[in-house]
Amino acid sequence: MPMSALPSSFQAFRIHNDEEGFRANWEPQSIDEQTSGDVVIEVHYSSVNYKDALAGTNRGKILRRFPLNGGIDVAGVVLASESDRFAIGDSVLMTGSGLSETKDGGYSEYLRVSSEFLVPLPTNLTLHESMIIGTAGFTAALALSRMEANGQTPEMGPIAVTGATGGVGSLAIDIFTKAGYQVSAITGKTEAFDWLHSLGAAQCIDRHGLYWPESPLASAQFAGALDNVGGDMLNGLTRVIRPWGNIASCGMAASMGLNTTVMPFIIRGVSLLGINSAGCPYSLRASIWDKLANDWRPNHLASIHTKTIGPDELKDAFEALIDGTNQGRIVVDLRPQPPTRKKTTKKRVAKKKATRKKAAQKKANQTKEKTS
C-alpha cells in the first residue's frame, strides 16, 4: 500500500498531563504528530496490559513524557518503510521497547515506529494471536528463558506462578507446561481453579490460605517461581525454593517492596532474576518470539483470550484490570473502519425511476378496476 493510502487524520488514544491536568481520550491525529520512526504501520490489533491501565487512568507513572499515545503492544501491516529490513505489506509486531513510555504507543489506527525494535510476525502466528500473547506472554517466555539459562530444568520440580489468572500468569501456566514443567498456580480467585487446571496447572493454591513461616528458610516446596505480585508474596517465596532454583520477578501487583534475608541466596543458592520485557535486547527478543510461535507456543490461546474489544470499550477494560475482575487477555481491534459507501448518483436515479414507475402502474391498475 502506498503512503497515499494513509489518511491525513486518524484516531489515536492520546494521554495528556499538563497545566490543564490529566486527560486521556480518543482524538484526531496525523502521522507527523507522532514520535519519529522509519516504518509506518497500519495497526490491526493491540492489547490491554496492567501498565496500559495504569497509564490510561493516571494511577501509575508509566509515561516518561507527555503527550503520548497509549498502548505498549501493537501488531499490523507495514504501510510505508525506509528500512531495508521491512517492506510494504509485511506483517509485524512490537511489544514494549518504549511504546507508551517514551514513544507513541499502539492505541492508534496508524503508527510510526523505529525498525530497530520491530519484529516480523512469526509464520505460525496470526496478528490477532500475537496480541493475545503480547507483552504478557513475552514476559512469561522471557522469564522461562532466563530461568533455563540459569540452570532451571523440569526435573528439578514444580514451578509456582503467582497472579495466575492475569495475563502473564495464565500464559505462564500454558508456556511453562508446554516446555515440560509442572506448574502450581497461586491465586485468590478460587472460582478460577477449574480454568487454571484446563490451562495445564497441576496444582491450584488459594493465596488467602498461604502461610509463610517467619524463619528465613522454610521447607522447600517449589523448584522455582514466576512472581507477578511482589511484597509479602515474593518475600515468602524466597524461603520455600529448593536449592539452585530460580525466582523470576516480573510484577508488583501487590507491592514494589521486598523484605527478605540473604539466607536463601547464600545457603540454598537460590537466584532472584529480574524480568525487564520492555528493555529486552533485540536478538533475544526475536529468539523468544520464534519460540512462542513454535516450541513454546501456548496451547490454550482461545481460552486465555477473554475478548476482543473496540476502541470505545478501552476505558472499561482499564478498570477491569485495575480492580482485578478481568481474567486472561483482552485484545483491542484497531483496524481502520472503511467509510460507508454512498450509492452512486446513477443508482439513486434508477431507483427513483423504478419507484415512480411502480407507483404509476399501481395507479393505472386502480383506475382500470373502477371503470370495469
pLDDT range class, residue 31, cuts 50, 70, 90: very high
C-alpha dihedral, 224 to 229 to 232 to 234, nearest 10°: 20
User: What pLDDT shows up at residue 349?
Assistant: 52
User: What pLDDT shows up at residue 212?
Assistant: 85
**Position 359 pLDDT exceeds 80:** no
Distances (CA, A) of 156 to 90, 181, 367: 42, 9, 95
pLDDT, tens digit, 9 for 90 and up, residues 144-199 = 999 999 999 999 999 999 999 999 999 999 999 999 999 999 999 999 999 999 99
How many CA atoms lie less than 13 Å away from 212 in the CB half-sphere? Answer: 18
**Position 273 pLDDT exceeds 50:** yes
User: What pLDDT shows up at residue 224?
Assistant: 98
The helix (H) or strand (E) run that includes residue 41 is strand 39-48
**Pair 51, 31: CB distance under 8 Å:** no
Per mean pLDDT, which range of 83-87, 183-187, 213-217 is the poorest?
Answer: 213-217
For range 230-248, the mean pLDDT: 96
Rounded Cα distance, 81 and 37, in Å: 9
More confident residue, 96 or 369: 96
Answering whether pTM is above 0.85, one says yes
Residue 142: burial class (beta carbons within 10 Å; 0-12, 13-18, 19+): buried
Residue count (the chain): 372
**Position 223 pLDDT exceeds 50:** yes
For range 298-320, the mean pLDDT: 97
Full set of structural domains in the chain with CATH:
3-121+310-333 (3.90.180.10), 137-274 (3.40.50.720)
Rounded Cα distance, 181 and 153, in Å: 8
**Pair 173, 196: CB distance under 8 Å:** yes
For range 22-46, the mean pLDDT: 97
Strand partners, 110: 42
pLDDT range class, residue 361, cuts 50, 70, 90: low
For range 294-313, the mean pLDDT: 97
Distances (CA, A) of 296 to 68, 164, 280, 300: 33, 18, 18, 12
pLDDT range class, residue 5, cuts 50, 70, 90: confident
Rounded Cα distance, 237 and 157, in Å: 15
Q: Is 358 helix (H, G, I), strand (E, B) or coil?
A: helix
Strand partners, 47: 331
**Position 372 pLDDT exceeds 50:** no
Read off the DSSP letter of residue 108: B
| Residue whose C-alpha cell is 501498565 | 51
For range 15-38, the mean pLDDT: 96
Rounded Cα distance, 58 and 42, in Å: 27
Strand partners, 305: 329
pLDDT, tens digit, 9 for 90 and up, residues 103-129 = 999 999 999 999 999 999 999 999 999
User: What pLDDT shows up at residue 336?
Assistant: 72
User: What pLDDT shows up at residue 355?
Assistant: 61
DSSP letters along 138-166, please? HHHHHHHHHHHHTT--GGG--EEEESTTS
For range 312-335, the mean pLDDT: 95
**Pair 275, 150: CB distance under 8 Å:** no
**Pair 228, 321: CB distance under 8 Å:** no
For the chain, give the mean pLDDT: 91
Rounded Cα distance, 139 and 175, in Å: 11
User: What pLDDT shows up at residue 272?
Assistant: 98
pLDDT, tens digit, 9 for 90 and up, residues 339-358 = 544 444 455 556 656 666 66
User: What pLDDT shows up at residue 344?
Assistant: 44
Which residues neighbour 48 within 8 Å (Cβ) at sequence distance 6 or greater? Answer: 309, 314, 317, 318, 321, 329, 330, 331, 332
For range 228-257, the mean pLDDT: 94
The helix (H) or strand (E) run that includes residue 28 is strand 21-29
User: What pLDDT shows up at residue 213?
Assistant: 83
pLDDT, tens digit, 9 for 90 and up, residues 41-77 = 999 999 999 999 999 999 989 999 999 999 999 999 9
Sign of CA dihedral 238, 168, 130, 192: positive
pLDDT range class, residue 253, cuts 50, 70, 90: confident
Distances (CA, A) of 366 to 9, 194, 356, 371, 372: 55, 70, 15, 9, 10
pLDDT range class, residue 1, cuts 50, 70, 90: very low
For range 1-12, the mean pLDDT: 79
User: What pLDDT shows up at residue 3?
Assistant: 57
User: What pLDDT shows up at residue 241?
Assistant: 97
Scanning the chain, the segments in alpha helix (DSSP H) are 50-57, 127-149, 167-178, 193-199, 231-239, 263-267, 282-293, 301-304, 314-322, 345-371
More confident residue, 363 or 312: 312
**Pair 107, 314: CB distance under 8 Å:** yes
